[in-house]
Amino acid sequence: MKIAIAQINPIIGDFNHNYDKIMNFADRAKQLSCDLIVFSELVITGYPPRDLLEKKDFVEANLKCLNKLIESIHGIGVICGFVDKNPGKEGKGLYNSAALFENSVLLHKVKKRLLPNYDVFDDGRYFEPGLSCESYTYKGRRIGVTICEDIWNDRDIIKKRIYHLDPVSLLIKDGADLIINISASPFYVGKNRLKTDMLGSIARKYSVPLIYANQVGGNDSILFDGLSAAFDQYGQIKARARDFEEDIVVFDTEDSKGFEENLHSISGSDTESILKALIMGTRDYATKCGFSKVVLGLSGGIDSAMTAYIATKAMGHKNVLAVSMPSMYTSRENINDAEKLAKNLGIELKEIPIESLFREFARLVSPSFKESNPTVAQQNIQARIRGTILMAFSNMHGSLLLSTGNKSELSVGYCTLYGDMSGGLAVIADVPKTIVYDIACFINSEKEYIPQRIIEKTPSAELKPDQTDQDDLPPYEILDPILNGYIEDLKGIDELVEMRFERSLVEDVVRRVDQNEYKRRQAAPALKVTSKAFGDGRRYPLAQGYTGIRGLGD
């Protein structure tokens, strides 16, 4: 059987858009003489639809779209994800489902059995789990269809299984000789290696071909890398779609000769994949929210430089406005670097000095203000003036304001509410500072887009004379491993100390992370590229007394 794997970028709730995409890819698959085309999880609604699932008309529109597809597509079989109703009197009212249809006939339906309820996933909030795993005979093959999480519970691969059953093994017992998994599996750096190894191992373990169709694109903070693939019965990858863009690849279950043409190129490193993810995520967030232009502050530092580069690649240089807002503490070097960067990228740069505004503002609220030694409150006034100016440009031009802070700063609260945190999207807020430098060097390996001096200079907020980040923070090469251990790996203080960090330093960093949860709750959505990002996937109370520094009785 010749199978097309369709990797498309749906828009949540835009049923006309998603219908047209599905029709277009089905036509392409027919032109390639395919027998079957496989789409991703909930492709009709887009994933994740979240509380839109509580709207009856949303569910009905999804079913109407499915029925229209069944009536419209002929000459090829289709597997696609949709939302089905639960007609029973008990349980949740919906199923996360997949349909197999051909020539106006619905042949088979599958209900997702394993419903994740961790990190960014909320399947258990909306869906009732399916109760059975049944394979289906189609064109001489016994197909076992699984939906995303259903394939993530193999006892030989998953060290800590959180479900009591394995749908894949049950389908194999039911006679399946071809496993198809439709997914909306979010990206985080390093996940692709784990996923490829797992899928190949499952195919090899059961000696069956395995098809994996994944969503691509950005929906809010969540990014999907695609990388749909097909594995033969030996676990060898025989088809692979590109990462971070729509694609279609073909796999023949009976003949794998010439498969190399269906191994499409992908990122060559984690650094490249993060950059691609951020560009795609910025583009999709802006355009799916109705923005065609973006605006950002350009300080001459590396974070705003990186954000400007990403914005330019995502939106086009004519659709990016950068604003330089120097104060009396801004160095001529930074002003020049911002100008050079804007020229390199071909984006418009406006300069609006804030010195007079800041002096007047500071003296009004703080008569004892001294320029030579501004307090933290007076430093924050500068950031808030800049945030106000940027929001004014956003309002005037209908542009999306991009905030430019990184994950290291956001983690410890080295940022200003209603100031540099202002914005509609936080582009690099899940990228640690050390990784920002890695990406900048990768960008410049092609051409010096980011002036080398920006990469080499000591980072500074420039809110007081001779200020550097390391006046208030440990060096980033020390800070970032502590943050990674505490936030992503969930290590406690003792475990972090065992990593040879000073206890006083660890306790200070942990205290800062915990105390600044209130800031992060008010931050713009951040594009998720690590295994544990701030936002929906990390839910901590604001009002709480646990610090992890002292236990009961200490």
Q: How is 289-303 classified by DSSP, letter by letter?
A: TT-S-EEEE--SSHH
- What amino acid occupies position 358? F
What is residue 275's predicted lDDT score, i.e. its pLDDT? Answer: 98
What is residue 467's predicted lDDT score, i.e. its pLDDT? Answer: 87
Measured between its terminal Cα atoms, the distance across the chain in Å is: 66
The H or E element that residue 179 is part of is: strand 178-183
246 annotated active-site: no
Q: Catalytic pick from 34, 80, 148, 415?
A: 148
- What amino acid occupies position 124? G
- What amino acid occupies position 42? L
DSSP state of 29: H
Ranges under pLDDT 50 in the chain? 552
**Do 476 and 433 form a contact (C-beta atoms < 8 A)?**
yes
148 annotated active-site: yes
The H or E element that residue 452 is part of is: helix 452-456
Question: How far apart are alpha carbons 347 and 319 in whole angstroms?
Answer: 8
What is residue 550's predicted lDDT score, i.e. its pLDDT? Answer: 57
**Do 6 and 213 form a contact (C-beta atoms < 8 A)?**
yes
Question: How far apart are alpha carbons 483 and 64 in whole angstroms?
Answer: 47
What is residue 469's predicted lDDT score, i.e. its pLDDT? Answer: 87
Q: How is 46-110 classified by DSSP, letter by letter?
A: -S--GGGGG-HHHHHHHHHHHHHHHHH--SSEEEEEEEEE--SSSS-SEEEEEEEEETTEEEEEE
What is residue 370's predicted lDDT score, i.e. its pLDDT? Answer: 81
What is residue 549's predicted lDDT score, i.e. its pLDDT? Answer: 65
Q: Catalytic pick from 21, 112, 276, 288?
A: 112
What is residue 371's predicted lDDT score, i.e. its pLDDT? Answer: 82
Q: Catalytic pick from 21, 41, 102, 111?
A: 41
> What structural domains and CATH numbers belong to the chain?
2-258 (3.60.110.10), 274-468 (3.40.50.620)
Question: How far apart are alpha carbons 211 and 249 in whole angstroms?
Answer: 11
